[in-house]
């Protein structure tokens, strides 16, 4: 079984996290940033899973290679689940997105600032046209200010009570152990090693 995998993302924060978990097990990794060709993918579904599948299929079919895609987001209860599936489009860059989030939560007290990160990670096999889905979630709160220099996206304002720290104050390995994406990708890794590779190599 070929252990070459493409990670279908333009987000280098995601690439770093996924690579850290899987790199020792797979031969070659690419991200969309490594291809000269610009591949346009319009994420137009209100459902994470459909967007993740769209990314995985487009890249997997284009390059004929097993592909991992992640669609994720931050769901804030006081904002009825926003920004959710639109998390990457909540502003022009991470800074603007965080600014908007903090503005919208002005006056909302600690206990009502509950939120969660969710990730849907897809492993797509173009030769079979089939895929597996892995889900991960991380519960926490939206803080009142930015803290920490690690991670990406909304990490500086995501407070985790168990650690009494913001996610951006936690190093990559530690984040991977508890995060939405980390949980989904570790589940994918276990599946590939315990099940998928065994089955495909015995054929």
The helix or strand, by DSSP H or E, that contains position 51, with its residue range, turns out to be helix 48-63
Whole-number minimum distance, CB 196 to ligand ITT, in Å? 22
| Residue 60 makes contact with ligand ITT by CB under 6 A | no
The half-sphere exposure of 51 on its side-chain side, counting CA atoms within 13 A, is: 19
| Residue 11 makes contact with ligand ITT by CB under 6 A | yes
Among the listed residues 54, 52, 158, 40, the one whose alpha carbon sits nearest the alpha carbon of residue 97: 158
Stretch that binds ligand ITT, among 66-74, 105-113, 123-131, 184-192 (CB under 6 A): 66-74
Among the listed residues 95, 102, 198, the one whose alpha carbon sits nearest the alpha carbon of residue 152: 95
Whole-number minimum distance, CB 67 to ligand ITT, in Å? 12
- Neighbouring CB atoms inside 10 A of 25's CB total 12
**What is the spatial distance between Cα 49 and Cα 154, in angstroms, rounded to a whole number?**
21
**What is the spatial distance between Cα 101 and Cα 58, in angstroms, rounded to a whole number?**
31
The alpha carbons of the chain give a radius of gyration, in whole angstroms, of 17
| Residue 156 makes contact with ligand ITT by CB under 6 A | no
| Residue 43 makes contact with ligand ITT by CB under 6 A | yes
- Residue with token string 């020792």: 24
| Residue 152 makes contact with ligand ITT by CB under 6 A | yes
Catalytic residue selected from 24, 34, 70, 71 = 71
- Neighbouring CB atoms inside 10 A of 12's CB total 13
**What is the spatial distance between Cα 132 and Cα 128, in angstroms, rounded to a whole number?**
12
Does residue 71 have an active-site annotation? yes
Whole-number minimum distance, CB 173 to ligand ITT, in Å? 14
Question: Which residue number is nearest to ligand ITT in terms of Cβ?
Answer: 153
Stretch that binds ligand ITT, among 20-28, 70-78, 108-116, 191-199 (CB under 6 A): 70-78
Q: Scanning residues 74 to 93, which ones bind ligand ITT (CB under 6 A)? A: 74, 87-88
Whole-number minimum distance, CB 74 to ligand ITT, in Å? 6
- Contacting positions for ligand ITT (CB under 6 A): 9-11, 14, 43, 70-74, 87-88, 117, 151-155, 179, 181
- Active site residue ranges: 71
């Amino acid at each position: 079984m070929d252990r070459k995998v493409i990670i279908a993302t333009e987000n280098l924060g995601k690439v770093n996290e996924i690579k850290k978990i899987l790199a020792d097990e797979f031969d070659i990794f690419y991200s969309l940033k490594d291809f000269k060709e610009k591949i346009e993918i319009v994420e137009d579904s209100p459902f994470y899973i459909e967007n993740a599948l769209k990314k995985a299929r487009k890249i997997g079919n284009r390059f004929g290679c097993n592909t991992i895609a992640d669609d994720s987001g931050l769901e804030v209860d006081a904002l009825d689940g926003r920004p959710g599936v639109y998390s990457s489009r909540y502003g022009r860059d991470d800074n603007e997105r965080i600014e908007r989030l903090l503005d919208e939560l002005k006056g909302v007290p600690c206990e009502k600032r509950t939120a969660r990160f969710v990730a849907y990670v897809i492993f797509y096999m173009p030769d079979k046209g089939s895929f597996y889905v892995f889900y991960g979630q991380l519960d926490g709160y939206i803080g009142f200010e930015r803290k920490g220099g690690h991670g990406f996206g909304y990490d500086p304002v995501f407070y985790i009570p168990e650690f009494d720290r913001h996610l951006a104050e936690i190093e990559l390995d530690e984040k991977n152990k508890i995060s939405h994406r980390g949980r989904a990708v570790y589940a994918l890794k276990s599946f590939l090693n315990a099940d998928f590779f065994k089955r495909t190599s015995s054929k």
